[in-house]
Structure 1
């Protein structure tokens, strides 16, 4: 990779070294396309920083070359009721192809959480043919640590995925990508370029272990990172982190108040002269000032709170060059000590003030309130002999705390409770917590050793996905993100939805989207856990919810659509449809019922969806008066309301009650394909 700085220097990274005889600067420049070179020089001249690497232009074009796929709903792997299934997705397939296929969700995602391969020489694969054909099905070879171009390959794989992630986000959406130090700097530069440095929200440094490991001759690795960027930082919102029991324990019912409270500062960080005056303590007769600042309580309210201690207060001039003080009525005249600092709680001249009859009478009344009643909002520390404070009620504070960029082990060292089955830690370190959690919910023997802890993912989701939002994970792995969303829904009563994409390890014969990932989500939803013998038993509280399981199959085009079987086409319509004009992505629920001829699904508003078939089976038919009458009959049987969404080959009959979608044109459009350039339109069919 070549990074140009404002000084014009090029920094050569090891991934791009060609040979020991070559000139690094010359060879580095020759690797760039003409357009990239011109763009790089322009950014150098303008004093900026340029990210350039071999094959960058190709990587930037890959997402446009990826074709959408047919998505098959596999009913045997659905979990939950039909309504619950329609809320969430688990997709088996390559994540770039899946995100391209999920065109209806572009601009609809609140949060994308990604945990891509860390390029450690163990998991990351790259197929060189992807440079020319990103649809090539070969997974490629394992990129080893000895591969001199491994950083370049990793960036070529990540860049198109970052581009499409950005396209999937809502205008106020956020992306959070987990990474370690192998690709931290490269990922940061790409994120700056794709999302903009000005849209960087945070670089989270989270403590993955709390015990030293012998993984380095210099410094033991104990942390990893989460890079958090907004689509538009001005629109994005970061929630408060959940309050802890320790934080809430500071709030008590010290005086019998109905609500717990703690003492707070009655002073604002601003010197307003009209609010800089003395108040007299009903316990000691001492004068209290707001220091170098001013009272944040209005004067009338302050007088009211003081009088709730049993004595009447009046305004008196105490000779401090301030506005009149709030004094106990009838209290002795006071004189300031010469040269006394008014901002450091001046002392009343004369020690006999404590025994003055008016002060003594005020003290007796105040002590009676202190010992027998709920204290006024303004109170005094040290049993009445200290400085004034105000009550801060727990119900009035923010429902959380502002998050820090360092997330320490006290947040993650203990896995959340996942059921009655327990497993011993094999080693220390809170990254082990994720594996322990996975063991508890699916059992040992899964051979999956890169699992993020639930608390980490729950914290990310809680901060950047609103309670009714949609979170997507294109590197779903064991399904921690989906599990975390379900757990948060249970804890807070929220309705967050998820889309998980996982290819698994087909090179090892394990498509664990339908094994490990599916099993974890299934067990979380149903409350089932493996016993010591590996048998599933309902031993934990079910989280509820559900999801559809879909698998990516072949590429889709007009010819494919027109030759699909009925069941296949229904799946394509259900998974690809979005509402014209609003780019709204409704959750369509498939309807499989032999009573209906054309009815195939409905949306959340109970509007029906139909596909017209010749003879009720195929091929695709046309909407005419006869088929429209069947549509009416189906809708009446299902008790569904207008408008009627109808897919058909041609529209020969029109009705104001029908929203018509032409096959294959509208299906291709809903998948992001240009109807005018698709091969179907070049074949001369009318």
Structure 2
């Protein structure tokens, strides 16, 4: 269709919106068929009911409450996770690439994003495959942005099929000014002869912040090779130190370009084209720590007064010697001087039997001056740059376009091998990111007690990476995974792949040669709750639930705005309690008034008496959080939540509106 004809059909307000979008993007904007409609459609997504699948939950109950694996469509799941909006530290995800293998698109989403059908696989022959991919990604990127904290970061893995389209969408959603890095990681360490032109050995990770000014990039763990450069030859109580620390600074100040005399050789050492990096008073103190007295003396070399041994002969400085390029003047004629001999003897005694001063002389005293750089004063990590030129990383560097080879991030075959080891071969999943890559991203952009969300969980590498990092570093990160599961359509990834991989990571089970599962690997502490995304939620749906379903919704939906950092509620299924269903980390009880005939009851004096007794037996204290249909009895010890109103409110909606989508654009 002719674009000019389309424009003529648009209303005035629609045309103005298009022009405003173009101007706001500085004249550069990504346009594709259906974009304007998609931006409106995403606002129509409604929360759904989630149901805990008890037999698929893993780990102790307190660990289950920390982590989630949600089976369902990710856009609908993220809307359902309303209480986590603005609470996620890092989103790291690997969406399906447009390769004609795994990407599905439901055309009915253009009209109703709540349609539960998965859609059909988009083939490489589909001329609209790029448009469909962008129409699927744009609303999800907007929702991911809403899930992030103000200082949160998103890292999206991608290959070259949609790299440029994704980059422009990320620029539009997050802002070009919030781009942190374009990471080029080596997915293959051996070239393949599968191309007539250039063999692709790399893929990409686009990293953006919700607000780059607030976001932080962490450090990677120092490796053994980096620490091996630090020694302790003199048994210094301050610990290992670097044995070639430069005592000079690159920006010379004239007053700090003088000579110092070695107590070992009597030679004069200049700082070259640089300058000494420490004050002259401190340099004199360090030199005298070698057992001899030093004085200042004018050597007629055109430099400030030198620091030389008291009463010792000083080498003559040749007038034609370029002290910037040749900064040493040897003391060949004065070596037998008694003062120099005494200085050498004192310095050698300290070198051989005592802790060396901060300023020392390399090559067992025969070389140039150097300064100790203690490992404990160095940042305990390395910044993620292409080249590791400055091992101490004392000056922070900005991330830009960079490359990570497979030694830094692993490669695709390693990811597949890891999955083979855990699940056995035959899983048919060929787009597995290596653990090393995901761990590196998480370590850089999620704090030790942060929350990681993966809306395209796939094989569960993200959760596995979080569990391993928690075990290896003592961190306390949590995860939320979302993976589409539809066993009736042959897509059971959430249960058969994602769940099983994370479960075996926790239990340490691996398939043996005969196919049985044996606990042969190190179990990783942790657990997760498995939730299934069900139908759209409204008042009628809440009131028609069975008790177990309603308890699940109560536990999931409850969120105290005044305690945004509190942990999730822990469900209590102990026998002998009629109304008690859970507790929080403050020792407060949660109660659901459920009548024997199978309906939500009311809070009155009789039910309050039961609540009070159950709280006493469970060791819980007020306030008592009570969910019921009506409140007939009131008490200062009770916080009452009316069903269905409060549940709908906690989920961010009511019968007439959806507050999630009523906030101003661009938030």
Q: Which residue of 1 aligns with 2:144?
A: 165
- Displacement of 1:296 after TM fit? 2.4
Which one is further off, 624-633 or 482-491? 624-633
Equivalent residue for 2:621, pick from 641, 653, 663: 641
Q: Which residue of 1 aligns with 2:513?
A: 532
1:377-400 Cα distance to aligned partner (Å, 9 max, x none): 211122222211111222221111
Instruction: Give matches, 1:303-314, under 5 Å.
Output: 303-314=284-295
- Displacement of 1:354 after TM fit? 3.2
Q: Which residue of 1 aligns with 2:311?
A: 330
Cα distance in 2 for residues equivalent to 1:37 and 1:604: 53
Cα distance in 2 for residues equivalent to 1:129 and 1:519: 31
Equivalent residue for 2:420, pick from 434, 439, 446: 439
Q: Which residue of 2 aligns with 1:101?
A: 80
Q: Which residue of 1 aligns with 2:633?
A: 653
Equivalent residue for 2:349, pick from 340, 358, 368: 368
- Displacement of 1:644 after TM fit? 1.6
Cα distance in 1 for residues equivalent to 2:470 and 2:22: 49
1:506-545 Cα distance to aligned partner (Å, 9 max, x none): 4752412112211111111111111001111111111111
Q: Which residue of 2 aligns with 1:541?
A: 522
1:581-608 Cα distance to aligned partner (Å, 9 max, x none): 4544631111112321211111122221
- The secondary structure found in structure 2 opposite 1:80 is coil
Q: Which residue of 2 aligns with 1:425?
A: none
TM-score, with normalisation over the residues of structure 2? 0.91
Equivalent residue for 2:200, pick from 211, 216, 221: 221
- The secondary structure found in structure 1 opposite 2:92 is strand
The answer on 1:136 being equivalent to 2:133 is no
Q: Which residue of 2 aligns with 1:407?
A: 404
Which one is further off, 489-498 or 138-147? 138-147
Change beyond 3 A, Cα 1:34–1:200: farther
1:436-470 Cα distance to aligned partner (Å, 9 max, x none): 00111111121111111110111111111111111
Cα distance in 2 for residues equivalent to 1:92 and 1:350: 79
The answer on 1:38 being equivalent to 2:16 is yes
Cα distance in 1 for residues equivalent to 2:346 and 2:564: 68
- The answer (yes or no) to whether the contact 2:221–2:380 under 8 Å persists in 1 is yes
How many aligned positions are there?
Answer: 640
Instruction: Give matches, 1:204-243, under 5 Å.
Output: 204-243=183-222
Which one is further off, 251-260 or 173-182? 251-260
Q: Which residue of 2 aligns with 1:419?
A: none
- The secondary structure found in structure 2 opposite 1:642 is strand
Change beyond 3 A, Cα 1:329–1:55: same
Change beyond 3 A, Cα 1:90–1:252: same
Cα distance in 1 for residues equivalent to 2:465 and 2:284: 51
- The answer (yes or no) to whether the contact 2:485–2:493 under 8 Å persists in 1 is yes
Change beyond 3 A, Cα 1:28–1:366: farther
Q: Which residue of 1 aligns with 2:606?
A: 626
1:641-668 Cα distance to aligned partner (Å, 9 max, x none): 2222222222333322222222111111
Equivalent residue for 2:435, pick from 441, 451, 454: 454
- The answer (yes or no) to whether the contact 1:612–1:647 under 8 Å persists in 2 is yes
Instruction: Give matches, 1:399-548, under 5 Å.
Output: 399-404=380-385, 405-413=402-410, 430-504=411-485, 506=487, 508-548=489-529
- Displacement of 1:350 after TM fit? 7.1
- Displacement of 1:315 after TM fit? 2.5
Cα distance in 1 for residues equivalent to 2:565 and 2:379: 33
- The secondary structure found in structure 2 opposite 1:167 is helix
- The answer (yes or no) to whether the contact 1:171–1:232 under 8 Å persists in 2 is yes
The answer on 1:68 being equivalent to 2:65 is no
Change beyond 3 A, Cα 1:656–1:354: farther
1:285-328 Cα distance to aligned partner (Å, 9 max, x none): 22223334332233333222212222122233333454432221
Cα distance in 2 for residues equivalent to 1:601 and 1:280: 75
Equivalent residue for 1:602, pick from 574, 583, 591: 583
Equivalent residue for 1:191, pick from 170, 177, 185: 170
Instruction: Give matches, 1:291-310, under 5 Å.
Output: 291-310=272-291
Cα distance in 1 for residues equivalent to 2:349 and 2:246: 24
Cα distance in 2 for residues equivalent to 1:113 and 1:585: 23
Q: Which residue of 2 aligns with 1:559?
A: 540
Which one is further off, 466-475 or 440-449? 440-449
- The secondary structure found in structure 2 opposite 1:306 is helix
Change beyond 3 A, Cα 1:623–1:505: closer
1:142-181 Cα distance to aligned partner (Å, 9 max, x none): 2111211111110110011001101111111110000000
Change beyond 3 A, Cα 1:28–1:237: farther
Which one is further off, 264-273 or 488-497? 264-273
1:181-206 Cα distance to aligned partner (Å, 9 max, x none): 00000000110111111110000100
Cα distance in 1 for residues equivalent to 2:84 and 2:94: 20
Change beyond 3 A, Cα 1:329–1:675: farther
Cα distance in 2 for residues equivalent to 1:162 and 1:436: 30
1:42-95 Cα distance to aligned partner (Å, 9 max, x none): 465674312221111221123321111111111111111111111111111111
- Displacement of 1:283 after TM fit? 1.4
The answer on 1:145 being equivalent to 2:124 is yes
- The secondary structure found in structure 1 opposite 2:154 is strand
- The answer (yes or no) to whether the contact 1:282–1:363 under 8 Å persists in 2 is yes
Cα distance in 2 for residues equivalent to 1:41 and 1:362: 81
- The answer (yes or no) to whether the contact 1:320–1:342 under 8 Å persists in 2 is no
- The answer (yes or no) to whether the contact 2:538–2:654 under 8 Å persists in 1 is no
- The answer (yes or no) to whether the contact 1:242–1:401 under 8 Å persists in 2 is yes
TM-score, with normalisation over the residues of structure 1? 0.89
Cα distance in 2 for residues equivalent to 1:37 and 1:213: 49
Cα distance in 2 for residues equivalent to 1:656 and 1:226: 53
Instruction: Say what the alpha-carbon RMSD is for the aligned residues.
Output: 2.3
Instruction: Give matches, 1:387-406, under 5 Å.
Output: 387-404=368-385, 405-406=402-403
Which one is further off, 515-524 or 100-109? 515-524
Change beyond 3 A, Cα 1:510–1:157: closer
Instruction: Give matches, 1:574-613, under 5 Å.
Output: 574-584=555-565, 586-613=567-594
Specify every segment of 5 or more residues in structure 1 that has no aligned partner in the other structure, as ranges: 1-17, 414-429, 679-686
Q: Which residue of 2 aligns with 1:247?
A: 226
